[in-house]
Amino acid sequence: MNLKLTEEERAFRDELRTFFTTEIPADVRAKTASGTPLGKDDYVAVQRILHSRGLAVPNWPVEWGGQDWTPMQRNIWLSELQLASVPDPLPFNASMIGPVIAQFGSQEMKERFLPATANLDIWWCQGFSEPEAGSDLASLKTRAVRDGDDYIVNGQKTWTTLAQHADWIFCLVRTDPNAKKQAGISMLLFPMDTPGVTRRPIKLIDGGYEVNEVFFEDVRVPAENLVGEENTGWTQAKFLLGNERTGIARVGATKVKLARAKSFAAETRLGSGSLLDDPIFAARLAELENELLALELTQLRVVAGSADGKPNPASSLLKMRGSELQQAATELLVDIAGPDSLPAGEADIDSPDWARLTTPTYLNNRKVTIYGGSNEVQRSIIASSILGL
């Protein structure tokens, strides 16, 4: 038993830390740290810098731009990325569709898509959920009917994150309506500007715009854009969702939030001292820090123990607890801001900018326990696949 990183791991960490803090534009990192929404250009610029050094898609096979890293190295990479407030490489590309194409796609498909996906020349969005198919994803209804060399797609997707920026969508469609729920599903790839595709923005409670409804009306998709075999989409979706979950704990990002919380509390006057001196506040902060450490150690145990890189059922625990602590940190920031959190948006008034961002961020972050498989669904996975209930 041994808690220390090896010499090499430490050197690896220092090298990444230097790279992230010197090569990634400071303004993008500042925006990420404060919760200011990023523009498309920010994501693209950062991902290209990362990719030029082999740091955008390390979890991919080496021949497609990945790295032959140990799980511990991968974890160090992710953690340093977040500690430096570098936005994660676009998850739809880097942790969702990329690995799926690398695993299930034809050679031709890999060549066509993987380099452009890694470099964010193509921006992907995820077309899984539908109005009636949320937690129960397998009940999706969007239909794809074979017509010569094409599929004709009809139906509706919803919650499609950042579809307004997207060039392509990876979509789950029903190709066999007669098969059992999971058995008749396939995964199709097609450009968002294909005739018959329309998007409608959905406004969220923080006033922001990040998700969309997407409608398909007789959308013609060449059959070569089918990933793997027809009706095997559920296998691919499960593989993808396992990967999605692993990245969602965001311990590093929550650490940054708590550190910011501390500095803001130190600046907040209370009685003769600061909020940070207040035992009630300090106790709450200490408790959160401790819970976060417990999660980090659990994550390290999972990482140190899983050599094969397969999604571990414990990833459900990481997603669940990670998202809860992310929310707890945004909640703490809101409470530090107190009445200064009431004004929203840009206004030339005497309340700190960070304080005015706190409640929109808090409200927006309610999503993290809902998406990526809601926390209730994660509990069911733990109950059934770990506890055998």
Partner 1 sequence: MNFELDTEQDMLRATVRDLLSGAYDVESRNRVAESDLGWNRDVWKQLAELGVLGLPFAEEHGGMGAGPVEVMAVMTEIGRALAPEPVLDCVYLPGRLVAEVGTDAQRSDIIPRLSEGTALLAFAHDEPGSRWPHTEVATTAARDGDSWTLSGRKNPVLHGDCADTLIVSAKLPEGGIGLFVVDAGADGLTRTPYRTHDERRGAQVVLENVAATSLGEGADASTAIITAQVHAQAALCAETVGALDSSVQLTTSYLKQRKQFGVPLSMFQALTHRAADMYVLYELASSMSLYATMALADGIVDPTIASRAKLQVGRSARKIGQESVQMHGGIGVTAEHSIGHYLSRLTAIEHTLGTMDDHLRVLAGGVKDYELVEIAGM
Ligand X SMILES: Cc1cc2nc3c(=O)[nH]c(=O)nc-3n(C[C@H](O)[C@H](O)[C@H](O)COP(=O)(O)OP(=O)(O)OC[C@H]3O[C@@H](n4cnc5c(N)ncnc54)[C@H](O)[C@@H]3O)c2cc1C
The catalytic site residues sit at 244
Residue 147 interacting partner from partner 1, ligand X, none (CB closer than 5 to 8 Å by kind): none
Q: Least separation, in Å, of the C-beta of 233 and partner 1?
A: 19
Q: What span, in angstroms and rounded, lies between the C-alpha atoms of 251 and 268?
A: 26
Q: Which is nearer to ligand X, 79 or 330 (CB)?
A: 330
Of 254, 314, 242, 316, give the one whose Cα is nearest residue 285: 254
Residue 350 interacting partner from ligand X, partner 1, none (CB closer than 5 to 8 Å by kind): partner 1
Q: What span, in angstroms and rounded, lies between the C-alpha atoms of 7 and 62?
A: 24
Quick one: angle between helices 233-246 and 315-337, nearest 10? 50
Query: Position 331: which residue type?
Result: E
Which residues does 92 contact at the CB level (< 8 Å), separation at least 6?
123, 124, 125, 126, 161, 162, 166, 170
CA quadruple 190, 45, 42, 251: dihedral, nearest 10: 90
Token code pair at residue 105: 């796609």
Do residues 113 and 122 lie in contact, with contact meaning Cβ atoms separated by under 8 Å? yes
State which of positions 118-177 bind ligand X (CB under 6 A). Answer: 126-129, 134-135, 159-161
Query: Which residue from 110, 255, 260, 367 is in contact with partner 1, where contact means CB under 8 A?
Result: 367
Of the chain, the end-to-end C-alpha distance in Å amounts to 32
State which of positions 345-364 bind partner 1 (CB under 8 A). Answer: 345, 347-351, 359-360, 362-364
Q: Least separation, in Å, of the C-beta of 138 and partner 1?
A: 9
Position 19 contacts ligand X (CB under 6 A): no
Q: Which is nearer to partner 1, 8 or 136 (CB)?
A: 136
Q: Least separation, in Å, of the C-beta of 128 and ligand X?
A: 3
Q: Least separation, in Å, of the C-beta of 322 and ligand X?
A: 16
Do residues 81 and 20 lie in contact, with contact meaning Cβ atoms separated by under 8 Å? yes
Q: What span, in angstroms and rounded, lies between the C-alpha atoms of 245 and 56?
A: 18
Query: Position 52: which residue type?
Result: S
Token code pair at residue 156: 């509706």
Residue 117 interacting partner from ligand X, partner 1, none (CB closer than 5 to 8 Å by kind): none
Q: Least separation, in Å, of the C-beta of 292 and partner 1?
A: 19
Do residues 275 and 352 lie in contact, with contact meaning Cβ atoms separated by under 8 Å? no
Residue 39 interacting partner from ligand X, partner 1, none (CB closer than 5 to 8 Å by kind): none
Query: Which residue from 376, 384, 385, 386 is in contact with ligand X, where contact means CB under 6 A?
Result: 376
Residue 161 interacting partner from ligand X, partner 1, none (CB closer than 5 to 8 Å by kind): ligand X
Residue 251 interacting partner from ligand X, partner 1, none (CB closer than 5 to 8 Å by kind): none
Q: Which is nearer to ligand X, 245 or 257 (CB)?
A: 245
Q: What span, in angstroms and rounded, lies between the C-alpha atoms of 14 and 103?
A: 32
Q: Give the x-and-dash track for 310-349 against partner 1 (CB under 8 A).
A: -----------------x---x--xx-xxxxxxxxx-xxx
- CA 233-107-177 angle, to 5 degrees, is 20
Q: Least separation, in Å, of the C-beta of 335 and partner 1?
A: 6
Contact footprint for partner 1 (CB under 8 A): 129, 132, 134-136, 139, 158-159, 202-207, 211, 268-270, 278, 280-281, 284, 327, 331, 334-335, 337-345, 347-351, 359-360, 362-364, 366-367, 369-371, 374-376, 379-380
Contact footprint for ligand X (CB under 6 A): 126-129, 134-135, 159-161, 211, 367, 370-371, 374, 376-377, 380
